[in-house]
């Protein structure tokens, strides 16, 4: 079995975000980058499946320029066998999905795993687009994934509960917790990652029609107003007329 895990190269959640060039471009200066947290779950489950099913291989794929390679090497250190980097900026969801689908076709993968969404754009549509482009099922957000022959047994989150489904392979799955526990690379993994194959390919043309105008940071939080405990009327007034939550 061949598993493809698609990973994103995103700012750490504690990083301070800024924009440059009239708010049209992200400023990476001083930002620590990581594997997308949801992608980490997908990768961890892929490694578990590799350990449970003899002959399984795990390939990681990232769409990004050369500076994403340390993030890719971390995925290799966690346990992936090899990696592919599509040498392009991840312009939008359609562009990224096109690159993934093309590489998936070429590699003939049985299972394609990725996070339910990236934490930079939070689009949550790439897995669906890839499934459509490949003509195979796509399920998200997947909380549990087990394999039985050529059938995947999945538990996914739905509004108000969970849903259990069975899907024939091949399959695209958008993963989230608690599908697996994050794995931390050990020294042996870090050393072996340096020599594992990392293939760089040029992107396929994909015209999505999306044009970026500008980025905006959320407005700063307002100052806290302290209301005396015995002044309930003022509290109600502020909640109703200023906060507008009642």
Residue 13 lies in a domain: yes
Count of domains in the chain? 1
Has residue 133 been placed in a domain?
yes
Residue 11 falls within a domain, yes or no?
yes
Residue 164, domain member (yes or no): yes
Q: For residue 93, what is the domain's CATH number?
A: 3.40.50.620
- CA distance linking residue 160 with residue 95, whole number of Å: 33
Q: Answer for the pair 99, 129: CB distance below 8 angstroms, yes or no.
A: no
Would you say residue 226 lies in a domain? Answer: no
**Position 222 in a domain:** no
Domain that holds residue 91: 2-214
- The pLDDT tens digits along the chain (246 residues) read 999 999 999 999 888 888 888 888 888 888 889 999 999 999 999 999 999 999 999 999 999 999 999 999 999 999 999 999 999 988 889 999 999 999 999 999 999 999 999 888 888 899 999 999 999 999 999 999 999 999 999 999 898 899 999 999 999 999 999 999 888 888 889 999 999 999 999 999 888 777 888 888 888 887 888 889 899 999 999 899 988 888
Domain presence at residue 228: no
Q: What are the tens digits of pLDDT across the range 6-26?
A: 999 999 988 888 888 888 888
In tens, the pLDDT along 148-196 reads: 999 999 999 898 899 999 999 999 999 999 999 888 888 889 999 999 9
Contacts of residue 143, Cβ cutoff 8 Å, sequence gap at least 6: 155, 156, 157, 162, 176, 177, 178, 179
Does residue 221 sit within a domain?
no
Angle at 159 between CA 153 and CA 162, to 5 degrees: 25
Tell me the whole-structure pTM to 2 decimals.
0.84
């Amino acid at each position: 079995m061949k598993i493809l895990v698609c990973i994103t190269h995103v700012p750490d959640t504690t990083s301070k975000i800024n924009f440059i060039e009239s708010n049209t471009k992200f400023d990476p200066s001083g930002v620590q980058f990581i594997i997308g947290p949801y992608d980490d779950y997908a990768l961890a489950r892929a490694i578990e499946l590799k350990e449970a099913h003899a002959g399984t291989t795990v390939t990681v794929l990232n769409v990004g320029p050369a500076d994403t390679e340390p993030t890719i090497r971390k995925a290799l250190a966690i346990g992936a066998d090899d990696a592919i980097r599509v040498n392009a900026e991840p312009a939008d969801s359609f562009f990224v999905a096109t690159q993934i689908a093309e590489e998936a076709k070429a590699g003939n993968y049985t299972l394609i795993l990725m996070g339910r969404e990236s934490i930079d754009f939070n689009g949550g549509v790439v897995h669906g687009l890839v499934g459509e482009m490949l003509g195979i099922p796509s399920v998200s957000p997947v909380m549990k994934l087990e394999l039985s022959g050529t059938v995947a047994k999945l538990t996914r989150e739905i509004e108000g509960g969970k849903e259990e489904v069975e899907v024939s392979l091949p399959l695209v799955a958008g993963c989230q917790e608690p599908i697996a526990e994050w794995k931390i690379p050990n020294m042996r993994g870090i050393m072996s990652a340096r020599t594992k194959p990392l293939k760089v390919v040029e992107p396929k043309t994909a015209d999505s029609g999306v044009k970026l105008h500008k980025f905006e940071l959320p407005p700063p939080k307002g100052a806290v107003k302290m209301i005396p405990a015995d002044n309930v009327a003022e509290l109600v007034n502020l909640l109703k007329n200023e906060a507008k939550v009642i």
